[in-house]
A and B are shown apart, each in its own frame.
Chain A
Amino acid sequence: MPPQIKRLALLFTIFIGCFILVRHFLVPKSFGKYGHYRADSVEENKSAAVNYAGADVCTGCHEDIAKTKADGKHARIACETCHGPGGKHIEDPSSFKPNRPKGRQFCGMCHAKNAARPKAIPQVDLEKHNEGMECYLCHKAHSPKIR
């Protein structure tokens, strides 16, 4: 073997060796397990905190409200739709209270008149419908029909 080839072969071996070594330390262990990504990342994504607990958890304690709601027009609406995430409230019910939304604007997000809204949803003109009154004075949110 000519000497220049020998020198080149040695150089190449060192280069490839270094490459494999560096790659070994830089590429995460789980990379490529399922595809061209870090498989551990799937678990990390799974481990994010859950903030919305789900209506079933709410009704576990607030049976009375669940009963009122079941007969009303808002029966199929989840508690957290209006009250916001309840995860913290479940962990520590006394010190963390969920939102109790008030005001015409909040109800208006579903019930303000809008041409795009399906006709089946009751809609009012917020500026004309009993101006200045709070919605909850007439309509109880858990069972909104006036009785």
Chain B
Amino acid sequence: MKNPRRNFLKTIATITGGAIAASVAEPFNALLYASSFPGKNVKGGSWYGMGIDIDKCIGCGRCADACKKENNVPREPFFFRSWVEQYTIKNDGEVKVESPNGGIDGFKQSVPDEEVFKSFFVPKMCNHCYKSPCVQVCPVGATFETRDGVVLVDDKYCIGCRYCVQACPYGCRYIHPQRKVVDKCTLCYHRITKGMTPACVEVCPNGARIFGDLNDKNGALIKFLKEHTCLVLRPHLNTGAKVYYNSLSTEVR
């Protein structure tokens, strides 16, 4: 090390140059991020995800209702594993978001037709992220991602500390009022592992929800992703979300 300053500058230049070159060579794509880790632990295993077609959602709220009935979610209007929101963008640019009882009792148009610039329904649920913030913050290992890509909660191990509720950027977790542990969408793990579809997909009258295996190249979900221009919610957070929305407007948060 005869010339420490020159060596230092050389190292810095190499690292910076390398990083820039690497980012040019493979531009970051939030959508492909999650699906680029198919079945990371199991060969030939599944890697579950969900597609939601906003163009097809009619806002009947049957998915939110079925979710509660299938998974015994409390009926009070504060606890949801899945719910539907109505977005209305007014002519003056104001965005109105409504979700009366998660959409279970149906929606009533609250903005008169002549003021509506556009309006649409957005079903929401756990995004089963590849790099879930909720899993990362759990202090006891009570929430985890299974080897087939589903984020689950161990209700016997959860201490109800609510860190994950705060960490989830999509607001998909709640504390169960009786059991005092966290509860969330399991992608109906008890159903999908028996070869059935999740309850919300089963009851959707218009086929707006597509459940599938991202490892199955001929499957319904891959077909949906190929044929539609899909986005994930909050891609800038780099959560690796695996719920893909077709026709997602920028107003949706």
- A-side residues, CB < 8 A to B, are 28, 31, 34-38, 41-42, 44-52, 54-55, 74, 76-78, 80-81, 84-85, 105, 108-110, 112-118, 121
Known: A34-B147, A54-B202. Is A46-B193 also a contact (CB below 8 A)? yes
- Contacting pair B156 A113 (CB below 8 A): no
Residue of A28, A46, A54, A116 near B59 (CB, 8 A) is A116
Which residues does chain A contribute within 8 Å of B207, judged by CB atoms?
Answer: 76
- Given contact pairs A38-B157, A109-B106, enumerate 15 new A-B contacts (beta carbons under 8 Å): A35-B144, A38-B141, A41-B156, A51-B69, A52-B202, A74-B205, A85-B69, A110-B60, A115-B88, A115-B113, A116-B121, A117-B59, A118-B58, A118-B206, A121-B206
Instruction: Specify which chain B residues have a CB less than 8 angstroms from the CB of A115 in the assembled complex.
Output: 88, 109, 111, 113, 116, 118-119
Q: Can you list 22 A-B contacts (CB < 8 A)?
A: A31-B141, A34-B41, A37-B142, A42-B146, A45-B186, A45-B189, A50-B70, A51-B69, A52-B69, A52-B70, A76-B205, A80-B66, A81-B203, A81-B205, A85-B70, A110-B58, A110-B60, A114-B59, A116-B121, A117-B58, A117-B59, A118-B58
- A49 to B199 Cα, complex, angstroms: 12
- Give the distance in Å from the alpha carbon of A112 to the alpha carbon of B157 in the complex: 45
Chain B: minimal CB distance from A12 (Å): 27
Q: Give CA–CA (A76, B202) in the complex, Å.
A: 11
Q: Nearest chain-B residue to A123 (Cβ)? A: B58
Which residue of chain A lies nearest to B186 when distances are taken between CB atoms in the complex?
A45
Within B106-123, the residues touching A (CB, 8 Å) are 106-109, 111, 113, 116, 118-121
Most buried by B among A80, A115, A116: A116
Whole-angstrom distance between the alpha carbons of A44 and B154 in the complex?
8
SS of A interface (majority):
loop
Q: Given A41-B152, A85-B69, A116-B121, do A109 and B60 touch, yes or no (CB 8 Å)?
A: yes
Closest to A84 in B: B69
Q: B154 is contacted by which of A38, A81, A110 (Cβ under 8 Å)?
A: A38
Taking a contact as CB atoms under 8 Å apart, the answer to whether B119 and A37 are in contact is no
List residues of B (150-197) whose CB comes within 8 Å of A's CBs: 152, 154-157, 186, 189-191, 193-194, 196-197
Q: Which residues of A contact B143 (CB under 8 A)?
A: 37
CB distance B88 to A116 under 8 Å? yes
B109 contacts A114, C-beta separation under 8 Å:
yes
CB A59 to nearest CB in B, in angstroms, measures 14
Write the nearest CB–CB distance from B153 to chain A, whole angstroms: 8
Residues in A neighbouring B62, C-beta threshold 8 A:
81, 109
Q: Knowing A81-B203, A116-B109, A117-B58 touch, does A46 contact B144 (C-beta < 8 A)?
A: no
A121 and B202 contact, CB distance less than 8 A:
no
Collect the chain B residues with CB atoms within 8 Å of residue A28's CB. Answer: 157
Write the chain A residue with the least CB distance to B157.
A38
Task: Check if A116 sits within 8 Å of B119, measured CB to CB.
Answer: yes
Which residues of chain A have C-beta atoms less than 8 A from B206's C-beta?
118, 121
Residues of A within 8 A of B144 (CB): 35-37, 41
Give chain A residues whose Cβ lies under 8 Å from the Cβ of B113.
115
Partner of A85, one of B57, B61, B66, B204: B66
